[in-house]
Amino acid sequence: QFKAWLEQNRALAGFNLTESLVQQLFGDMEPHKKGYLTEVDWENAFGKFNWNTQKFDELKETILSNFANISAAFKYFAHCNDLGSTTVEHGDNAISYDNFCFAVRTVNPDRFSERDVKSLWDKFSRSGSLETVDLHRFKIVLGENCRFYGSASNFNKTTNATKRAQSAPMNAKREDVLDKLKHQIKASAKPLPEIFQEIDSDGSGKISALEFRHGIRKLGLALTSREIDDLLNRIDANQDGMIDYDEFQSKFKVKEVERRIESRSRTRLTKLKDQIYAYLLTPRDAFRQFDPDRKGILSFQAFTKMVN
């Protein structure tokens, strides 16, 4: 019922929470583990909730986490006129209402209604008394001393390639992140073209930085904005700020050698399972056949002996 209510009311629209996170949210709201929510639980969770404050906080957090500084954020908002594209309407020095609407819908897709966006604009434009918002006003509303922790501009395609090309040298952590993503994609039952099409939400044939960010978040890998940008940089071979299918495939397509190894491994494991049951052994008893010292672990040599 809780999940149905969330979907019906779009209460978490734009967050792309995984099933486990939704379950965790329910558990946090229901601390006594009854298996259902009471009116008291609901009141405790949302009694002090203020949507006007919440939606501004969400927009502010998105801006802080996706831009390196106030100037980069302002420039993007001043130029944004459509999903994933930018153009100059009032120059570099002002954000119009149309610019603002497109920018908000781009950085927080499917999250805010038209009324919500208008309310947010009123906060920046002094309830509509300003036709455009300049950098000074933009700073005041967001907070002069707010801390940005995103990259140079995760949504500016023309500058992304240059900024990402200057990223730090490759290290073990970066390898782990890419390997984790490769494993997730290879483990999927969906073919690679279908996965690409799901991430390419606008059907353009190329994955933008924004689409890539949302696609990664849907996988639930718990990566930081910096790590996601680093991944994009490593997959985007020609550094144009977009990932086409050839670039995507070159990183994640299962090679024939890997496919054969995986197939042989599955065959060996199936054979091992059959042998265990043929000798009427439980998995625990079979494990102990190769762990005579009862250490509870198998060395690589012992594991090799077992599967062979």
Neighbours of 100 (CB within 10 A): 21
Q: How far apart are CA 161 and CA 163, in angstroms?
A: 6
Q: What is the pLDDT of residue 5?
A: 74
Instruction: Answer whether 95's CB lies under 8 Å from 132's CB.
Output: yes
pLDDT tens digit at each of 308 positions of the chain: 777 777 776 666 655 566 777 777 777 787 777 777 787 877 777 777 787 888 998 899 888 877 888 988 898 898 876 544 444 445 568 999 999 998 888 887 777 889 999 999 999 999 989 999 999 999 999 987 888 866 544 454 434 433 443 343 444 455 567 777 877 777 776 788 888 888 888 888 999 888 888 888 777 666 677 778 788 888 888 888 889 998 888 887 765 555 566 667 777 778 877 777 676 567 777 777 777 778 888 787 777 777 66
pLDDT for the residue 133: 94
* CA 47 to each of CA 31, 70, 198, 273, 287: distance values in angstroms, whole numbers, following the listed order: 16, 34, 37, 55, 54
d(CA 305, CA 54): 59
What pLDDT score does 132 carry? 93
CA 294 to chain centre: 43
pLDDT at 17: 61
Model-level pTM?
Answer: 0.44
The DSSP call for residue 243 is E
**Quick one: pLDDT at residue 158?**
36
Give the pLDDT of residue 88: 44
What backbone torsions phi and psi does residue 86 show, to the nearest 5 degrees?
-130, 150
The string of DSSP letters for 80-127 reads EEETTEE--SS-TT-B-HHHHHHHHHHHSTTTS-HHHHHHHHHHHTTT
Q: Which residues lie below 8 Å from residue 273, measured CB to CB, with a gap of 6+?
A: none
pLDDT for residue 139: 93
Judged on CB neighbours under 10 Å (0-12, 13-18, 19+), 232 is buried
